[in-house]
A and B are shown apart, each in its own frame.
Chain A
């Protein structure tokens, strides 16, 4: 975005913060391509980027009344888009982990003896990696997949602890088995 467009964006957001509705259509026209391009470069996948850019744009307009007119507009807008991208990425990661845990928990009555053996091997490999982790991480992971009682922690703290534990689990698995 060149200096003229930055200045135009600044003026439009100042007008929107003041309640000038006439600034809405040009602000939308200017912001939508910026948000989409930034989300694409942030997430590197088109479908997710489109969703994130749309959510972010709605959030930008939701917060337009609180925009601090003494601050530059473009970094503020990009900060909102980046935040939305991060949230979307975290959400899809969590969904992926939840579906894996769900698949693991489900016994497969149609599995052959070979498949059962492979599954047991995988469980052993996972347990050996788990044993190398700190006790708090093991406790958090087991509680996360429903194999142990959840520790008495506030939900955000527990979520953070699970995130950290899963990250360390992935690193330990990569060190021991090479691939995830």
Chain B
């Protein structure tokens, strides 16, 4: 039966939102095996579950929301690889000492991974004209959530190192490229 134009408008609008949600489901679903894999080795399985759930949910929401939020998903997940992989590979390594100060290699991996993620996203954000903050917020959150389970090997210090590394990696690039 034919609908009135107002009813058709509302139905088309609902269809548009449903279509966006369906299109967002696939990329989010692809992350589920990665989250399950990180749960199998994470030092704190509950942290892996919380971070993984947030990662999948935010990927879905950002892709559904669209615009600069959706454009942050790919780079954010790509930037999350260094802080996920480097500390994971260094988790069994021993400590490195400079003089009397010793530090675990895993912690250094967290800071390094965070720095790499920050630099990647900072460079990318600096090339964006409008919505730089939203891009960095979306992509940065995803990168940090991806890296957190691996940095948990170094405990709270690892998570703090990841955060500091990210801030240290993104800030200079952003500051250098920001318009005067």
**Given A47-B2, A54-B3, A62 and B16 contact (CB-CB distance below 8 Å):** yes
Interface residue? A32 (CB, 8 A): yes
Find out whether the CB atom of A24 lies under 8 angstroms from the CB atom of B19. Answer: no
- Among residues of A, the one whose C-beta sits closest to the C-beta of B62 is A19
**B177 lies within 8 A of chain A by Cβ:** no
- Are A62 and B5 in contact, with the CB atoms below 8 A? no
- B14-26 near A? 1/0 per residue, CB < 8 Å: 0110111011100
CB nearest neighbor in A for B21: A65
Query: Does A19 lie within 8 Å of B65, measured CB to CB?
Result: yes
In the bound complex, CA of A60 to CA of B2 (Å)? 17
Evaluate contact between A51 and B67: CB separation under 8 angstroms.
Answer: no
Given contacts A32-B5, A32-B8, contact A24 B16 (CB under 8 A): yes
Q: Is the interface of B mostly helix, strand, loop or mixed?
A: helix
Chain A residues within 8 Å of B1, by CB? 51
By the criterion CB–CB under 8 Å, are B15 and A18 in contact?
no
* B 56-87 to A, binary, CB cutoff 8 A, 1 in contact else 0: 00000000111101100000000000000000
Given contacts A64-B19, A65-B19, contact A58 B67 (CB under 8 A): no
CB of B8 within 8 A of CB of A20, answer no
Residue of A nearest to B24 (CB): A65
Q: How many A-B residue pairs have CB under 8 A?
A: 57
Choice from A19, A47, A61 contacting B15 with Cβ under 8 Å: A61
Q: Which residues of B are found within 8 Å of A58, using beta-carbon distances?
A: 8, 11-12, 15
- Per-residue interface assignment for chain A, residues 43 to 67, with 1 indicating a CB less than 8 Å from any chain B CB and 0 otherwise: 0000100110010011111111110
Say yes or no: A54-B8 contact (C-beta < 8 A), given A19-B65, A47-B2, A61-B13.
yes
A73 close to B (CB within 8 Å): no
CA distance A32 to B9 in the complex (A): 9
CB distance from B143 to the nearest CB of A (A): 21
**Which chain B residues border A24 with CB–CB below 8 Å?**
13, 16
Q: What residues of chain A have their CB less than 8 Å away from a CB belonging to chain B? A: 16, 18-20, 24-25, 28, 32, 47, 50-51, 54, 57-66
Q: Which 5 residue pairs of A and B lie closest in terms of their CB atoms, listed nearest first?
A: A19-B66, A65-B23, A61-B16, A62-B19, A62-B15
